[in-house]
């Protein structure tokens, strides 16, 4: 299923581990990694615009915006996040949606921390079952043996699957130089309160191989399973994301 110091508020990021954790948190802000309905019957997520607040390590505070738009059969999902004076991140994904099937077209992720950043782009050639991944001046062509997504199109597929009762938890995502199995599991329903209000939610957890990492999403059925809260722990660093407004 997601932007980094003001000297008097935030401590500078001093180590490579902290910098890596911050970049991972910013990307998670952009993300998210859920009875058969026919194509004619499939329920479809509606365009939306939502604002969030997030905190990294209980001290780095930032904001984020997630915008989902549609033109014809092409959808665009854009995410921007920032911690003022420290870091920014943006993610963009273009895809089509036929029935319940999300088919990615292209995606990009860019982040900057203290002015130094990276960009990762993906271009999907679905006819030839390949994904072109460009990162740090190197382009790799990856073979696709099963439906494969970028961060944001994967979030859309999971939300579509939840909306239509087709969630399996078995998904694949294109990374820098490989296709990676990215499993999820549903962990029950709960009511939670965030700045935007109180919502009934379904909790979905990313299944990590590393026990030191965890990622949990609280998705609201009333908002087409839009994330209203995300909690990630990566390399001992915790990130919390909460919905503040649905525009």
Per-residue pLDDT tens for 123-168? Answer: 999 999 999 999 999 999 999 999 999 999 999 999 999 999 999 9
What pLDDT was estimated at residue 27? 53
What is the spatial distance between Cα 167 and Cα 111, in angstroms, rounded to a whole number? 31
What is the spatial distance between Cα 213 and Cα 238, in angstroms, rounded to a whole number? 10
**What percentage of the chain reaches a pLDDT higher than 70?**
84
Q: What is the mean pLDDT of residues 204-216?
A: 88
Q: Which residues on adjacent β-strands are paired with residue 186? A: 204
- Residue whose pair of structure tokens reads 């990615």 in the numeric block: 104
**Residue 85 — very low, low, confident or very high, per pLDDT cuts 50/70/90?**
confident
DSSP 8-state assignment for residue 222: G
What pLDDT was estimated at residue 211? 77
pLDDT at 9 over 70: no
Q: pLDDT tens digits, residue range 103-119?
A: 999 999 999 988 889 99
Do 170 and 179 meet the contact criterion of CB atoms below 8 Å apart?
no
pLDDT at 18 over 90: no
**CA contacts within 13 A on the Cβ side of 18:** 14
DSSP 8-state assignment for residue 221: G
Do 78 and 92 meet the contact criterion of CB atoms below 8 Å apart?
yes
**Mean pLDDT of the chain, nearest integer:** 85
What is the spatial distance between Cα 56 and Cα 143, in angstroms, rounded to a whole number? 35
Q: Provide φ and ψ at 100, rounded to 5°.
A: -105, 5
What is the spatial distance between Cα 164 and Cα 38, in angstroms, rounded to a whole number? 10
pLDDT at 16 over 60: no
pLDDT at 19 over 60: no
What pLDDT was estimated at residue 13? 35
What pLDDT was estimated at residue 35? 38
- The residue that leads in pLDDT, 26 or 88, is 88
What pLDDT was estimated at residue 1? 53
**Residue 22 — very low, low, confident or very high, per pLDDT cuts 50/70/90?**
low
What is the spatial distance between Cα 102 and Cα 108, in angstroms, rounded to a whole number? 17
Q: Provide φ and ψ at 185, rounded to 5°.
A: -140, 145
């Amino acid at each position: 299923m997601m932007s980094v110091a003001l000297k008097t508020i935030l401590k500078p990021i001093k180590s490579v581990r902290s910098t890596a954790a911050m970049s991972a948190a910013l990307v998670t802000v952009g993300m998210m990694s859920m009875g058969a309905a026919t194509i004619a019957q499939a329920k479809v997520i509606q365009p939306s615009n939502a604002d969030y607040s997030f905190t990294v390590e209980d001290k780095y505070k930032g904001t984020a915006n997630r915008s989902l738009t549609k033109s014809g059969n092409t959808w665009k999902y854009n995410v921007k996040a920032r911690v003022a004076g420290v870091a920014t991140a943006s993610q963009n994904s273009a895809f089509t949606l036929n029935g319940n099937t999300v088919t990615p077209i292209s995606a990009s992720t860019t982040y900057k921390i203290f002015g130094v950043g990276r960009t990762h782009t993906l271009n999907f050639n679905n006819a030839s079952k390949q994904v072109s991944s460009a990162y740090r001046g190197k382009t790799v062509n990856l073979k696709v043996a099963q439906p494969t997504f970028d961060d944001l199109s994967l979030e859309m597929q999971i939300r579509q699957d939840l909306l239509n009762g087709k969630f399996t938890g078995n998904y694949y995502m294109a990374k820098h130089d490989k296709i990676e199995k990215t499993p999820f599991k549903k962990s029950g329903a709960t009511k939670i309160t965030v700045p935007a209000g109180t919502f009934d939610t379904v909790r979905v957890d990313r299944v990590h191989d590393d026990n030191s990492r965890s990622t949990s999403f609280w998705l609201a059925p009333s908002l087409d399973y839009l994330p209203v809260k995300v909690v990630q722990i990566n390399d001992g660093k915790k990130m919390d994301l909460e919905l503040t407004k649905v525009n």
